Amino acid sequence: MSQPQDAPLTVAHYTRSWLPQTQTWLYNQVRFLPDRIEPHVICEQTDNLDQFAVDNIHCFADDAPWRHHWDVGLRFLGLRPYYPYTIEQVHQCGADLFHTHFGDYSWQNLEVSRRTDIPQVVTFYGNDVTSYPQQHPKWKRRYRRLFEQVEGILCEGPHMAQSVVDLGCPEAKVHVHHLGVPISDIPFRPRSYDPGEPLRVLLAASFREKKGIPYAIEALGRLQEDIPLEVTIIGGVATVPLPLGFSKDVSGSAAEKERILAAIDEWDLGDSVRLPGYQPHEVLMEEAYNHHVFLQPSVTARNGDGEGGAPVTLIEMAASGMPIVSTRHCDIPSIVKHEESGLLAPERDPDMLVDHLRRLVESPDQWPKMAQAGREHVEAEYNAPVQGRRLAELYRTILNDEPRSD
């Protein structure tokens, strides 16, 4: 199984859908792999290909309709968690390594690894490690099996890595690998603020409890008593794709939208808040440069759901030169350095969010230093081309480790 460092390597990436607009970070992982790595994407359906085009996409939905419906039905009934189509594509592309994105999908694909005799690595991202094991005890059992059989577990930060270890994964299999953003595509434009002008605040997140948007709205409602505001909330109800083109609401996202709207009404922010819905990534970045501050008050939801790592949008905003107000949640402190590139509050603490926002307004002379610190940190730890090379090195490290335990 040993691979020379400069040998070509074919990696089959698996994800349910390629690609929701909220998963730009997965697109960056694949497209910034070095040339000696040949990636193939295996998925069940495709979305937004105009935004996330890559070579070598193999989509199960494009298979013969009768077979597609048959295999979807078998999985729906719990008779077979994996798709034979995945096995075929792993074989046909000549994969050396099978990289599944999201822990629950990796468990479904354990049989794929066994039948192809291809080592598997998995990246955890959020509710697959924070929520599933708490809500459904069966996932603790499933993950124990997964930890035994996969070759490596990738996590975007130390908090998530420790969470995976706490679920029973051997530490030797866990690797911290930061998600990357294309620094060269993100102009560095430090924001400035003139006292007396409206403070333009941007939020960008799916409408889920873990994003903490109602706490942001409460903080902004209090702040507007002294400071004029213009607020933009980019996002909407989060859904996950289901077979046959259906989708479902994620973790009460529709109900969270109602709470957000009710909070806007309660704090009389209707004239100050824009809700443009989900937007393409390029629109998000255009909005970012038209705002002063990015606000991301993430929390641990009542069902245990959390960021797991941290929202990638925080990396992009820091790279752009934007001051950030966020929370000490999961791996956010690894990205936003408190008192250096941003200000962090405890979870569910609108009072502290108000204090931090007011502090920024009262100290605009500190913004350039904060912007520079954020950019330098992202350049060192979250630059997508660099992270692509580091991921390639991780692949080879994992392949050159001990033989599989199963």
Q: Which of 2-6, 57-61, 141-145, 399-403 has the lowest mean pLDDT?
A: 2-6
Q: Which of 164-168, 235-239, 241-245, 355-359 has the lowest mean pLDDT?
A: 241-245
pLDDT value of position 74? 79
Percent of the chain exceeding pLDDT 70 equals 94
pLDDT value of position 290? 97
pLDDT of 281 over the 80 cut: yes
Percent of the chain exceeding pLDDT 90 equals 79
Look at the alpha carbons of 350, 303, 296, 206 in this order and tell me if their dihedral is positive or negative: negative
pLDDT value of position 132? 86
Q: Domain residues of the chain, as ranges? A: 9-180+383-399, 183-381
Strands 247-249 vs 239-241: parallel, antiparallel or unpaired: antiparallel
pLDDT value of position 3? 59
Instruction: Report pLDDT digits (tens) over 314-355.
Output: 999 999 999 999 999 999 999 999 999 999 999 999 999 999
Fold of 183-381: Rossmann fold (3.40.50)
For the domain made up of 9-180+383-399, the CATH class stated in words is: alpha beta
pLDDT value of position 70? 82
pLDDT bracket for residue 387 (50, 70, 90): very high
Identical fold for domains 9-180+383-399 and 183-381, yes or no, is yes
pLDDT bracket for residue 373 (50, 70, 90): very high
